[in-house]
Structures are given as structure tokens and as C-alpha cells.
């Protein structure tokens, strides 16, 4: 009897920690996710003055912490939304794929460049899906385009000087790159060994991949040295206009059409507009139905109903009941056991 009781306690502890502690209090989702000793919760009222967060790692497991973000340029228009692993799987149409390694870099990049609004996340991830074939291809050998938007070497110097994380990566890989001087050689020889190495080793890293893409939306496309001859500007504003319409030439469109032009430099045939629009509609259906916000009690999971936003109190009750059922089921099994024993485009 004592042995059975011990087994019961161990099972309850193990299952409770591994399966049930997915909602905890914290000052942000990150702090709640990292703190398994934080208070369990069902609504924000349980955590005041903090908030209640869902979709957290199971306690008892070890999850990698998001990389620290070096302070960098901050642009206006941030909304505080973040993307979850489940949302990214649905947007990329890769059910069951573990895309968690992309999440910290993606959300950090979105926040850094004021891209963390539903309309901007939608447009950005639609382009990312098309360019990377659903986060599987980060290097295009045809022109050494690399990263989430397949940025070509001719533009690496700009992003290297503008993004501290990418500048450090270049410096670590190339001895003469303290101030991004090596990128000049890559511009003069974009298909050379140095450019190929940078494309494969630097821009395949989620941090460089997503930061370069978000930087392009906020800063790169309006850099005069790059697009002085086109109508490209702050692509976040175009994202806010929705799908938009095609019209004119030299990137004189609106909305998502304009963004596509400023990513590929054209919106005709080879730009794959049909596919980009299809991905845009998929991303929009996922994000507008379940974007999750940090730090804003009006948008945290307990006040919203979509599962992607987190759990309602009723859903949490069902989850808890499910955990109890699992515990009871395992106990029965243990007792029985004891008895029996005695793409290809580039910016």
C-alpha cells in the first residue's frame, strides 16, 4: 500500500508538472515561460499586478531561452503582438513541424522594427513563406540571395551596418568585417566564395534571417541607395493598407502588391503573385483569428476566445479536468500492472 501511494504521488507530480502547468503569472510571456515556480492562473485577476499567460513550456522540461536582443533602432507603430509556434505552423502549413527555434528571433525582430501588428505580421509572413518555401530554404544559389526575404549580397552592407546582431555575425565570420568592410568585396563579387559563405552561414541563422527581413520592411526598402529610383518606402504602411491593388509600374501599387514589388522588384509573372496572395490570405486568417499581445490586458489570452490567443477560464477548467482524467487513467494502469506482477526571389 505504501509503495502504491508513493507511485501515486510521483505520478501526480510528474503529470501535473509535465502536462498541466501551461498557464502562469508573469510580467511578460517570456518571464512566465521561464519561471516554473510562478503562480498558476486562470485569468489576469489571479496575477495582479502581473498578467496571466498561456502556451507556456511544460514545467520539468528545459526549453532554450530566447537570445538576448541588443538594443538597436526602434521604429514607431508597435502593437505588442507575438506569433506562437502553433500559428507559425498553420501559416507555413507545416502541421506537427517543430518551428519553435524560429519563434524568439521572429518575435524579437517584429518588436524591434514595429512590425508586431496583425496586418504587418500577415504581410511579412506571407512573403517569408513564399521566399523560403515555408521556412525550408534560406539561400538561393542563383544570386546568393539569403535570409527570410532572400536578400542579395549587394544589400548586405546596408543591413550589416544597421543591425547590431548581423554586424557581429559578419565580424565573427570574416576578420576584416569589424565595420562591415568585407561586404564591399561581396558586392563586387556577389557570387564569390565569401558571399556564398555568408549566405549559408550567417543568413541561415534565424536571428539574421528574421532581423534582415523585418529591417527590410521598416528601413531597407526606403533606403535611397537601394530604391531611390522606385516608389518603395516604409513597407509597414503598405501592410496596414491590406491586400491593395496592382497599378502602374516601377512599384507604384498599393498594399501587399506594393510590398511584393519592393521585395522582388516587379509584380509580374515571375514574382509569383498568385502564390503570394494565397499565402497572404492564409496568414491573415490565422493572425486575425489568434494574434497574441504582450503586456496589454485587453489582448491577453484570458479576455479572448480563439484557442490561438490562449485559453478562456472555461477552457482552462476543461484542461484541468483533462489532466485529472489522465492522472486517474495512469493510476488505474499502475494498479493493474502491480496486481498482475504481484523560393527563389530576392530583395
Q: Where are the domains of the chain?
A: 19-42+52-65, 82-341
pLDDT tens figures, 292-332: 665 444 333 222 223 333 333 333 333 334 443 433 443 43
Pairwise CA distance, residues 93 & 38, whole Å: 33
Residue 25: phi, psi to the nearest 5? Answer: -85, 155
Is 138 in contact with 209 (CB distance < 8 Å)? Answer: yes
SS3 label, residue 293: strand
Indicate the SS3 state at residue 151.
Answer: strand
**Ranges 49-58, 186-195, 240-249, 272-281: which has the least confidence:** 49-58
What's the rounded Cα separation, in Å, for the pair 251 and 268?
11
Question: What is the pLDDT averaged over residues 82-106?
Answer: 95
Class of domain 82-341: mainly alpha
| Whole-structure pTM value | 0.65
pLDDT at 243: 93
Residues facing 146 on adjacent strands? 139, 151
Q: For residue 145, which phi and psi values (nearest 5 degrees)?
A: -60, 140
Res. 255 pLDDT band, cuts 50 70 90: very high
Alpha-helix runs per DSSP H in the chain:
2-15, 29-34, 85-91, 103-112, 118-132, 156-162, 164-173, 182-188, 193-201, 206-218, 224-227, 235-240, 255-264, 273-290, 313-341
Amino acid at each position: 500500500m505504501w509503495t502504491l501511494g508513493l507511485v501515486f504521488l510521483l505520478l501526480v507530480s510528474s503529470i501535473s508538472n509535465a502536462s498541466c502547468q501551461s498557464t502562469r503569472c508573469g510580467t511578460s510571456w517570456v518571464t512566465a515561460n521561464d519561471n516554473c515556480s510562478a503562480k498558476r492562473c486562470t485569468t489576469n485577476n489571479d496575477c495582479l499586478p502581473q498578467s496571466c499567460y498561456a502556451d507556456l513550456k511544460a514545467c520539468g522540461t528545459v526549453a532554450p531561452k530566447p537570445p538576448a536582443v541588443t538594443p538597436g533602432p526602434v521604429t514607431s507603430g508597435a502593437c505588442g503582438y507575438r506569433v506562437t509556434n502553433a500559428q507559425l505552423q498553420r501559416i507555413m502549413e507545416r502541421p506537427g513541424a517543430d518551428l519553435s527555434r524560429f519563434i524568439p528571433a521572429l518575435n524579437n525582430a517584429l518588436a524591434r522594427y514595429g512590425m508586431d501588428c496583425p496586418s504587418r505580421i500577415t504581410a511579412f509572413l506571407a512573403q517569408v513563406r513564399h521566399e523560403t518555401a515555408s521556412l525550408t530554404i534560406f539561400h538561393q544559389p542563383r544570386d546568393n540571395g539569403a535570409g527570410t526575404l532572400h536578400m542579395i549580397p549587394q544589400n548586405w552592407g546596408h543591413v550589416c551596418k544597421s543591425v547590431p546582431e548581423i554586424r557581429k555575425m559578419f565580424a565573427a565570420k570574416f576578420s576584416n568585417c569589424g565595420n562591415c568592410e568585407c561586404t564591399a568585396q561581396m558586392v563586387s563579387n556577389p557570387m564569390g566564395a565569401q558571399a556564398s559563405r555568408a549566405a549559408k552561414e550567417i543568413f541561415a541563422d534565424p536571428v539574421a534571417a528574421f532581423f534582415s527581413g523585418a529591417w527590410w520592411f521598416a528601413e531597407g526598402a526606403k533606403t535611397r541607395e537601394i530604391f531611390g529610383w522606385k516608389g518603395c518606402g516604409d513597407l509597414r504602411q503598405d501592410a496596414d493598407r491590406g491586400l491593395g491593388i496592382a497599378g502602374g509600374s516601377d512599384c507604384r501599387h498599393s498594399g501587399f502588391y506594393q510590398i511584393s514589388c519592393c521585395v522582388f522588384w516587379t509584380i509580374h509573372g515571375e514574382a509569383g503573385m498568385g502564390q503570394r496572395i494565397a499565402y497572404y490570405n492564409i496568414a491573415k486568417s490565422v493572425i486575425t483569428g489568434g494574434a497574441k499581445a504582450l503586456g496589454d490586458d485587453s489582448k491577453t489570452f484570458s479576455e479572448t476566445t480563439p484557442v490561438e490567443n490562449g485559453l478562456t477560464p472555461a477552457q482552462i477548467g476543461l484542461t484541468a479536468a483533462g489532466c485529472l482524467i489522465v492522472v486517474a487513467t495512469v493510476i488505474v494502469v499502475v494498479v493493474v500492472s502491480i496486481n498482475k506482477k504481484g523560393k527563389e526571389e530576392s530583395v
